[in-house]
Structure 1
Amino acid sequence: MVVKEFEIKEHYDPIADSLYIRIIDDYEYLESIDLGENVILDFDKNHVPVALEIVDASRKLNVNPFSLKRIVEVTMQIRIKEETIKLHANLSVPVHNKQLKKPVDITAVNDVDIPQIQTNFATA
C-alpha cells in the first residue's frame, strides 16, 4: 500500500458552517465523494485524497463556531482499501481556555474503485 504524507491548512466559513481542510501543494481536482455524515472527500487526478469538507461543522463537532475559526491543530489519516474508505481525524480546538480534541471517524464503502492508498495529513 502506498503511503503519502501532506501538510494541510484549514478554513472555516461561519456563514455556511463549513470546515474545509486541504493540502498545501497544488493539485488537479478530479472528483468528490460523499462519505456520509456531512463529510465530503476530494481526490486529485491520481486518485489521491487532497481535501476534506465538513458541512454543518459546529453541529457535527459539537463546538462553537468561534472555536472552529481558531483551530490549533489537525491530524488526519485516510486509508483506502479495496472495499472501504476510512477517515480518522483529530481537530484540536480552543474551548474555555483549554484545547479539546474533536475526533471524526467515518468508514464508507469504496464503490468507485479508488486505488488502495494511505495518506497522513497534519497542519503546517
Structure 2
Amino acid sequence: MKGNADNSFEVDYRYDYAYDVLAIKVTRPFKYDKTVEMDEGVLLDFDEDNVPVSLEILDASKRLNVPKYSLKNLIDFKMSVSVDDKSICVCANFKVMLHNSEQTPVLESFTSNYSNIPSMETEFATA
C-alpha cells in the first residue's frame, strides 16, 4: 500500500483482449465486501472497511473510445473516487499509445450511494 495517510493506493491492471474487460485492482491485500455498479458495465468493488479496491470496465475499448490493442499496455493510470452521503463519483484517466502518440481517454461515472458508504476521497495510480 502506498501512502495510507493520504488515502492513495498503488494498483495493477489486467486487460482481457478477448472479452474487452479492463480490471484494475489495488496491490495491497484486502477482504472483498461489495460491488457497486457505477454505470452499466462499470463496477467498483469495496473492501470490508468500505475502501474502494478495484474497478472493472466491461467493453473497455468502446467505453474509452480506443482500439483494444492500446489497452494491452497502459502507460499510466490515475483514478479518484469521491463518496458523499448521496453519491459515488469515479474519475479515471488513462494514458495509452495510439499510432505512436499518447492518448488520454477519461472515464467519469456517477451513481447514488445506495450502499451507505461513508464519505471519503481516495486516489489510485499505477505502481
Q: When the two structures are superposed, what TM-score results if normalisation uses the length of structure 2?
A: 0.93
1:52 and 2:45 correspond: no
Higher normalized strand content (fraction of residues): 1
Q: When the two structures are superposed, what TM-score results if normalisation uses the length of structure 1?
A: 0.96
Task: Read off the aligned partner of 2:82 and give its amino acid letter.
Answer: R
Question: Where do 4+ consecutive residues of structure 1 move more than 2 Å?
Answer: none
How large is the Cα RMSD of the aligned pairs? 1.1
1:110 deviates by 0.4
Match of 2:19 in 1: 16
Q: Number of matched residues?
A: 123
Structure 2 distance, partners of 1:42, 1:52, is 6
* Structure 2 residues not aligned, in runs of 5+: none
- The structure whose RCO (Cα within 8 Å, separation 6+) is larger is 1
Residue of structure 1 aligned with 2:105, choices 80, 87, 102: 102
- Work out whether residues 3 and 118 of structure 1, in 8 Å CA contact, stay in contact via their aligned partners in 2: no
Identity of aligned residues (%): 36
Task: Read off the aligned partner of 2:31 and give its amino acid letter.
Answer: E
1:3 deviates by 5.2
1:37 deviates by 3.7
Structure 2 distance, partners of 1:34, 1:86, is 11
